[in-house]
Every structure is written in C-alpha cells, then in structure tokens.
A and B are shown apart, each in its own frame.
Chain A
Amino acid sequence: MIKSRLFSSDSRLSDLITAHPSLLSLLSRLGVSLGFGDRSIADVCEDSGVDTAFFLLICNVYTFNNYVPSTAAILGTEMTGLVPYLEKSHKYYVEKRLPHIECHLDAIAQKLNGRIGKVFISFFKEYKEEVETHFMHEERDVFPHIRGLMAGKRDATYSIGEFIDTHSDIEGKLDDLLNIVFKYLPPQVDDDNVLDVVDDILRLSEDLKKHTFIEEKIMVPLVKHLENAILKK
C-alpha cells in the first residue's frame, strides 16, 4: 500500500527534493552533488557512481516513517554504499551539526549567570563526547567487520550480536536539551539563538533517529545474513 507512494528511479531528483526538502542534507552524504538540473534519479545516480536502488532505499526510509524495508528488499539491493554512507553521516554530525549547535549554545550560555552557564554548556559537551565515542566504536569495530564480510572474510573476534547488545540511543539527551532550551531557560535569553538552536536540535534529532533506524533495521539484518552466509561456506 505504502509502496505506491515510494519514490522511483525515473522521478526527477528535483521533484523529490521539492516534496521533501529535508532530503537535501542527505545528498552529499550519499555521494550526489548539487547541480543535477532536471535529470531523473537514475541518471543522477549513474553519473555520480551511486547505486540507484540504494539511494532510493535511504531516501524512502528518511521520508516515510512507517516504511521498514523487508529483508528481501535489503538483500536485493547493492549495499556496498552503506558503510561509506554511515561514515559520512557520522562526519556530518560531528563536524557540521554538533559544532553548529554548540556555537548557539555558547552564545546562550554567555547570557546565563556564570556557573549556570557553565553547567549548561558542559551538559552539551558531555553529550558531544558520548556521541563521538559511540561513533568511534562503530567505526573501529563494526564498519571494518562489515567491510570484511563484504569482501568474503569473516573476522572471528567480532559479531554483530555485540553491536545489538550494546547499541545505545544517542537521541535521548538531545530531547533533554530541547526541553531545557525552550521550556526552562530564563526569559532574558529569549533571542534568535534560542529559536535557531531549537530548529537545529529538532533537525539533528530527527536525523539521528533515522540514522539509528538504518543501523538497526538495515545494517543489522544485512550483517546477520552475511555472517550466516560465510559460516555456511
């Protein structure tokens, strides 16, 4: 039922972006540059060296909240782009989104009474470190494991089960921050920084939810399948 509404490869990429502008921030992470004119998704992907089915899978997951791709759909899609995509996303969050938010929070903290400002900003700094550690763990253990499996090698020291057991959510504290910023900051800091940072936090929070979703509902089933396939050999 939902399938009919999902994007297809012969839609114009520009139509997809016009309908869902938030997808714009995904393009560079998926390896597609701007300036695609009126070409179809399939054409743009081909020119950019991106697998069209994979591109559509990610865009559809980001756009439709109820869309959970079936294992068959995941296994039927060329997935070599997954790890590079996840890595680029990490980089995007750590190097672009979080510093952006921090910049606004710094400006807000200046307006708060010294020690409250300090506690406020250190709350965010701790969160940022948690996110970085979380990503680092995935980049150090999980991604090389997947690359190995895709190359037909099985590293006996790691299995995706460990990831499933330890994967924690990284959006929770962002919701805390959101509540603090728009509900509990004193009225004297009511300025553009607060509004901007609320927008930024909401955007990042949504993005991270989808990121977690992709890891848990696409990456995990894929890796389980690859692990089993190699065991059977």
Chain B
Amino acid sequence: MKQRLLIVEPSELIIEGLKSILDGQIRFKVLEPEMGADQLDERLAATRPDIVLINPTLIGNVSRLRGEHPMAVVALVYQYVEREVLKHYDAVVDIRDSRAVIIETLAQALPGDTEAGKSNYELTKRETAVLVELAQGKTNKEIADALNVSVHTVISHRKNISHKTGIKSVAGLTVYAMLNNLIDESALL
C-alpha cells in the first residue's frame, strides 16, 4: 500500500520541486500540501498521513504532534537548524540532497510494518482525551472548548476512535472507557 505523505512547507517552489521528485514513486502518495502550520492539527486528524515532511521553522513543538498522531515526521531544512530541534525528528531532508537521497531518507523514516499496524489501532493521547470527555456526556462543542480544538477536529477524532474500537455509540464508548480504566464513576454524571 502507498504511504500517504503530507508536505508542510511555505514555499511553493520547494513544494513543486518535491512533488516532481516524488511523482511516480510507487511508495508514496503525496497529499495536498499544507502551506502553514495553523490548520495542521485538523489536517492530521482528518487525513492521517503515514509520514509528514515539515519545515521545522513552522512549528515549535513537534513532540506534541507526534504524541497525538501516529506517523513519521521528517524535517525539511534549507538553512541551518539547531541540532537540539532536529533530534525530535525521525530523519532530515536537506533541499540540497539529491533526488535519490531524498527518496531514500523518506523511505527509511517510515515505521516498520508491524509497528505501524500496532500503533494504528491504539488510541492516541488526543483521542483518549476526547473519549474521556465524551464518556462524561459532553457534546462535540463542549469537548472542542475543553481541549482547545475545533469541532471539526473533535469529529475527526471521534471517527478515528470508532474506527479503531469498532464502537460507535457514546454509550458503548463509555463502557469501553470504563473497562479500560480511563474514567471512574465519579467522572460519570
């Protein structure tokens, strides 16, 4: 199966260059790129890419993103970036790298099949947070406010939760949350 790749990069020139390099690659399907990081959480929740190629100057804290979305994260650099920042990435692509090196770097950064299969079905921290709020009887809007995300993001998380657990109803998810000790009775209304 093709790995879904999301490019997050402000320069159209760089984006087009990357697309042309990756075009025709059987391993990757390049998703519609993001030019900035403002809508990134929503985009990640909605499209669930396998790998993200991102310009580190666009985001402060990449660790938080990784905690919430299971994916490989590769830094895209064209200037000097501190080593301290880059250590949070799975790999680094320099725009001066050759075509072959870029493709190889991205391929290496992908999680192994078994690991990917495993992590894909575990709830992320963010999904768990949504689940806990949901089990307390909150509406999508209330959950969005509590977690400081958009309603759209909450809906995406809910879809992912149901997809992973096979449970769609709120009542069913509440039982799931209790069985997994995510909430206790005091949290229930």
Q: Which A residues lie at the B interface, using CB under 8 A?
A: 115-116, 119-120, 123, 126-127, 172-173, 175-180, 183-186
Contacts and interface: CB of A to CB of B under 8 A. Distances in A.
Interface in B168-189: 168-169, 171-176, 178-180, 184-185, 188
B168 A175 contact: yes
Contacts, number: 52
A185 B171 contact: no
B167 interface: yes
Contacts of B180: 184
Contacts of B57: none
B178 A119 contact: yes
Given A172-B169, A176-B173, 18 more contacts: A119-B188, A120-B175, A120-B178, A120-B179, A123-B172, A123-B174, A123-B175, A175-B166, A176-B166, A176-B168, A176-B172, A177-B172, A180-B167, A180-B175, A180-B179, A184-B165, A184-B179, A185-B179
A173 B171 CA distance: 9
Contacts of A115: 178, 184-185
A185 B178 CA distance: 10
B8 to A, nearest CB: 35
Contacts of A184: 165, 175-176, 179-180
Residue of B176, B179, B188 with highest tally of chain A CB at under 10 A: B179
A201 B179 CA distance: 20
17 contacts: A115-B185, A123-B172, A123-B175, A172-B168, A173-B169, A173-B172, A175-B166, A176-B167, A176-B169, A176-B172, A179-B165, A179-B166, A179-B172, A180-B172, A180-B175, A180-B179, A184-B179
Main SS class of interface, B = helix
B41 to A, nearest CB: 28
Contacts of B176: 180, 184
Nearest to B135: A119
Nearest to B171: A123
Contacts of A180: 167, 172, 175-176, 179
Contacts of A185: 179
Nearest to B177: A119
Contacts of A176: 166-169, 171-173
B13 to A, nearest CB: 48
**The 10 nearest A-B residue pairs measured at CB:** A176-B172, A179-B166, A176-B167, A115-B185, A184-B179, A123-B175, A116-B178, A176-B169, A123-B171, A179-B167
B174 A119 contact: yes
A202 to B, nearest CB: 14
Given A115-B185, A179-B165, A186 B171 contact: no
Nearest to A183: B166
A175 to B, nearest CB: 7
B123 to A, nearest CB: 12
Contacts of A116: 178-179
Contacts of A177: 172
B134 to A, nearest CB: 13
Contacts of B172: 123, 173, 176-177, 179-180
A160 B175 CA distance: 36
Nearest to A126: B171
Nearest to B180: A184
B32 to A, nearest CB: 32
